[in-house]
Amino acid sequence: MTLAVLLTGSAGAADQPRLEAQRDAFRKALLKAEIADWEGVRPHLELLKDYPLRPDLSAAWLRSSLGPDTDPEVRRFLDRYPDLSFSGDLRYRWTLSLAKRRAWNSFLDVYDTHYRDLDDTELKCLALRARIATGAGQEAAESGVDIWMSPFSQPEECDPLFEYLEEKGLLDADRRRQRIRLALESGQLRLARYLARPLDDSDRRVIDRWASMRSDPGRELSQKSSFGNSDDDRELVSYGFRRLARLDPPRADELWNRYEDFDLPAATRLDIERDIALAHARRFLPGARRLIEHQASRDSDSIVAQWGVRLALRELDWQGALTALEGLPAEESGRTIWIYWRARCLDGVGDTAAAEPIFADLAGDRDYYGFLAADRLGRPYDFGHRSTPPDEELLTIIGARPDVVRARELFMTGLYGRGRTEWRSLLERLTEEQRAQASILAARWGWHSQAIITASGNGLIDDLELRFPTPWRASFEALSRKAALEPSFAYGIARSESLFMSDVASRAGAVGLMQLMPATGKQTARAAGIAYRGTTTLTDPESNITLGTTYLGRMLARFDGNPVLAAAAYNAGPHRVSSWLPAERQLPADVWVDSVPFRETRRYVRRVLESDTVFDWRMDGEHRPLSQRMPPVRPDSETQGN
């Protein structure tokens, strides 16, 4: 690819050295602006005077310098640059600063314009406090009670609001009891005890009973005579059984039989029995299939019906699985997963003539089930790749747009999250044709996550070059081979984990291209022989690929070279995967995948294997059948690492 093409949308090859110098200066200046050191910013301003991100330095400085003296300047900046990603952060922090200083009228001006419809409890409480302070107490009181009536503790910014409600007599004993019940049902015992402080001893005894039930539901429920015919006791028994079903399903089933004559609503009974049956199913406990089939006979719940199919498949009872498939709700039975399993079951009972047309319909799809269906028929895959023709004239026009230039520079200077925010925003201002070309532009910059998302969302699902790129290819190939992995498998993991975003962090705390938890990264770094410096190591692409491929290689070795189990272990952890292995006989890998208890892991493994297949083809134009990557799953006695 020529330098001119790589620079599409920038100042051009001749100006590239100056642009690189501006990027470097911006990074240095931003560090100073973020600590309110404008004198440290000043030496860079001449070089940055025409740089697209120059306003962001002012935003960063203002954000770190909030106070009465800068309020006018903040307001002017936000009026002039309302849509910058830095502006959103600046506005939010300024709003909190106004509230902290009790500049309530100014706070409400900003809140009502930008945040009134935002689901942000902290801001809502501050807004209600502002309305009380400005004379709108009645409206605030009604909304404040709704916020207070939560099963969970609320932000400390809400405390003055709740004190106001208390003073006005709006948090009476009945409302306290309602909130205590919500807290107890959510396991918030500390909050329940706090709320009960003004109440009498009988209310505290109720909390003590719930605490005992939460601590040891088996012990409490075994004392059936201690529960009477009251709504409170019925709710406590219901809570206890649903909790025990999660903790000890066989014990819950045993005790439940003693409560046949206990007065519970029919719907509550059905819910408890569903919980007990599903808990058995998800742990593959003895009697699980009997419980699920009994539940399915009188319960229209779709999850119960699905587990009826999964348990029959796990026993390789093809006829039983066909029967269970008939019990799926109509809206569920039409999904690809169950269409595939209907064909597999028909094939399993020897009705090949009925199975083959179904497999043939699926085999045209470029996905996990389509690949497996093609393998069943012995057909080659039709990847259906169609490259998107670049329109160089349109690319130049799009690339010169100020909003596109800004997004590009945010990406190029390492402000990836802000770049993604502005990229998503600018796409709304482009036509469909322009968005399609924008995906090519992002790919040329090496911004693969946005190229994938933009292409996928704008009708370019057949452009596999855009949607399945191979960045850091030399590293993926060398490090995968070192870890005894196929590079396509490592690529499948990386794409599924992060869409090749090197900075992204999950809610659970996993970081980087291959989404490693810090503890796993630190442990794996020792095995890989590299220095570990926390997040810095995890967000460095080369280091993350090293750690990710090393860890994935260890999972593959632990599970006897089975990519299906290695992918599942990468997602859910090796100990869980060990507990999901069959106890007595091996299972076909597709059966094992779709009987994994966690929906997230089932989807993850299918996505990784589908991507692995596409990457295998992308890398050299050849591919191995997916079924060859899916050896049978053997019992735990035959699998390494238990």
398-445: per-residue pLDDT in tens? 999 999 999 999 999 999 999 999 999 999 999 999 999 999 999 999
Decide if pLDDT at 80 tops 90.
Answer: yes
pLDDT of residue 321: 98
pLDDT at 245 over 70: yes
User: How confident is the model over 25-48, as a mean pLDDT?
Assistant: 98
pLDDT per residue as tens digits for the range 142-201: 899 999 999 999 999 999 999 999 999 999 999 999 999 999 989 899 999 999 999 999
The 10s digit of each residue's pLDDT in 81-129 is: 999 999 999 999 999 999 999 999 999 999 999 999 999 999 999 999 9
d(CA 451, CA 10): 17
- pLDDT over 50 (residue 569): yes
Q: What does the alpha-carbon distance between residue 81 and residue 86 come to, in Å, rounded to a whole number?
A: 9
Domain boundaries, the chain: 220-299, 392-461, 473-638
What pLDDT score does 639 carry? 56
CA distance 433 to 460: 11
Please check whether residue 220 is in contact with residue 255, taking contact to mean a CB–CB distance below 8 angstroms.
Answer: no
Fold classification of 473-638 (topology level) = Lysozyme (1.10.530)
Instruction: Check pLDDT > 80 for residue 2.
Output: no
Please say if the pLDDT value at position 336 is more than 80: yes
Residues with Cβ within 8 Å of residue 545, at least 6 apart in sequence: 472, 475, 476, 479, 490, 494, 513, 514
pLDDT value for 311:
98
**Mean pLDDT score, 330-358:** 97
What integer is the mean pLDDT of 236-255?
97
Answer for the pair 196, 161: CB distance below 8 angstroms, yes or no: no
Neighbouring-strand partners of residue 633: 587
Q: Phi and psi (nearest 5°) for 65? A: -130, 30
CA-wise closest residue to 74 among 55, 57, 94, 54: 94
Band of pLDDT at residue 15, cut at 50, 70 and 90:
confident
Percentage of the chain beyond pLDDT 70 is 97
CA distances from 559 to 81, 374, 566, 575, 607 (A): 54, 27, 6, 11, 19
pLDDT band at 137 (very low <50, low <70, confident <90, very high): confident
Cα–Cα distance list, 89 to 56, 63, 74, 78 (Å): 11, 8, 12, 11
Mean pLDDT of the chain: 95
CA 234/CA 66 separation, integer angstroms: 54
> What angle (nearest 5°) sits at the alpha carbon of residue 343, between those of residues 337 and 349?
130
Mention every residue, 6+ apart, whose C-beta is less than 8 A from residue 189. Answer: 183, 207, 210, 211, 214
Which residues 6+ apart lie within 8 Å of 235 measured at CB?
181, 185
Which tens digits make up the pLDDT trace of 117-136? 999 999 999 999 999 999 98
Tokens 């990264």, residue?
521
If pLDDT is split at 50, 70 and 90, which confidence band does 640 have? low
- For residue 505, the cross-strand partners are 511
Q: How confident is the model at residue 8 (pLDDT cuts 50, 70, 90)?
A: very low
**In 364-458, where does DSSP find H-type helix?**
368-377, 392-399, 402-412, 416-427, 432-445, 448-456
Q: Which three-class secondary structure state does DSSP give residue 118?
A: coil
Tell me phi and psi for residue 61, to 5 degrees: -65, -45
The pTM of the full predicted model, rounded to 2 decimals, is 0.92
Give the model's pLDDT for residue 568. Answer: 98
Q: State the DSSP H helix or E strand holding residue 180, giving kind and residue range, or none if neither.
A: helix 173-185
CATH 1.10.3720.10 at 392-461, yes or no: no
DSSP label of 457: T
Cβ atoms 236, 210 nearer than 8 A: yes
380 DSSP 8-state letter:
P
| Contact (Cβ atoms closer than 8 angstroms) between residue 248 and residue 218 | yes
